[in-house]
Amino acid sequence: MLFDLLEKNRSYRNFDSAGKISREVLEGLVRAARLCPSASNLQTLKYYLSCEEETNRQILEHLRFAGALKDKKFPYPGKEATAYVVICHDTRISASPERFWKDVGIVAQTMMLAAAELGLGGCMVGSMNQVKIQEVLSMPDNLLPQLILMLGKPAERVKIVTAEDGNVTYFREEDDTHVVPKRPLAELIINKE
Ligand SMILES: Cc1cc2nc3c(=O)[nH]c(=O)nc-3n(C[C@H](O)[C@H](O)[C@H](O)COP(=O)(O)O)c2cc1C
């Protein structure tokens, strides 16, 4: 059900490299994104699909991960993702990418949930060198990378805990389980009864 999927849909940064993802699967994710709401229904977002080793490697070089875990470098060697979706804004449709940042979030989560339903997982990556990504993927100037979905068959444990005293910094336990504190429900609702 939806809540199970939402719980399973954590950010994963290590993968089983044998868990290949086909182009058809990635196209299925775009089919899901296509059905999403869009500001003024302008549908400015375009998608670069990568499931080849070479383009995967080129994309990964220009991404950064888990800034709070300074002593770790993700993904671990041999645990790289097997696919990426580069969500781009098309300036030929609108000259203002920031007007569509909310659209980016909506399609990103929709695609991550569609991937989770297939037993896949990954991480949204906003920390990237946009110019380099454009360059290595030979993208025309009108396509501006906004957010990248890194995808694969997850190979790490991630768990949610309730944040205490407002501490929401994620961390790793001794056995390398990745722990994600979420603020308690009561902290999220503004108008208490
Ligand atoms: C818009 C957005 C951008 C993100 N960018 C990065 C990133 O550049 N690198 C990274 O390692 N994680 C990134 N994340 C993942 C967050 O760190 C992650 O969502 C957060 O730690 C909570 O973990 P959870 O997704 O398992 O709930 C991003 C998440 C979002 C929503």
Q: pLDDT tens across 134-153, in order?
A: 999 999 999 999 999 999 99
Residue 101 CB–ligand 1 contact under 6 Å: no
Residue 65 CB–ligand 1 contact under 6 Å: yes
CATH of 157-193, one of 3.40.1260.10, 2.20.180.10, 3.60.70.12, 3.30.590.20: 2.20.180.10
Token digits of residue 37 = 């709401």
Question: Structure pTM?
Answer: 0.98
CB-based contact 159:112 (threshold 8 Å): no
Residue 142 CB–ligand 1 contact under 6 Å: no
| Domain locations in the chain as residue ranges | 2-156, 157-193
Domains 2-156 and 157-193 share a fold: no
Indicate whether 119 pLDDT > 90.
Answer: yes
Indicate whether 7 pLDDT > 90.
Answer: yes
**Averaged over 169-175, what is the pLDDT?**
96
- Ligand 1 binding pocket mutation candidate from 10, 11, 162 (most atoms within 8 A of CB): 11
Question: Letter for the amino acid at 49?
Answer: L
Question: Letter for the amino acid at 126?
Answer: G
Question: Letter for the amino acid at 62?
Answer: H
Q: Which residues contact residue 31 at a Cβ distance below 8 angstroms, ignoring those fewer than 6 apart?
A: none
Residue 170 CB–ligand 1 contact under 6 Å: yes
Indicate whether 15 pLDDT > 90.
Answer: yes
- Ligand 1 binding pocket mutation candidate from 124, 170, 179 (most atoms within 8 A of CB): 124
pLDDT-above-70 percentage for the chain: 100
Q: What is the 3-state secondary structure (H, E, C) of the chain?
A: CHHHHHHHCCECCCEECCCCCCHHHHHHHHHHHHCCCCHHHCCCEEEEEECCHHHHHHHHCCECCCCCCCCCCCCCCCCCCCEEEEEEEECCCCCCHHHHHHHHHHHHHHHHHHHHHCCCEEEEECCECHHHHHHHCCCCCCEEEEEEEEEEEECCCEEEEECCCCCCCCEECCCCCEEEEECCHHHHCCCCC
CA dihedral 50, 56, 59, 60 (to 10 degrees): 140
Among protein residues, the one with the nearest Cα to ligand 1's atom 9 is 65
Q: Class of 2-156 per CATH?
A: alpha beta
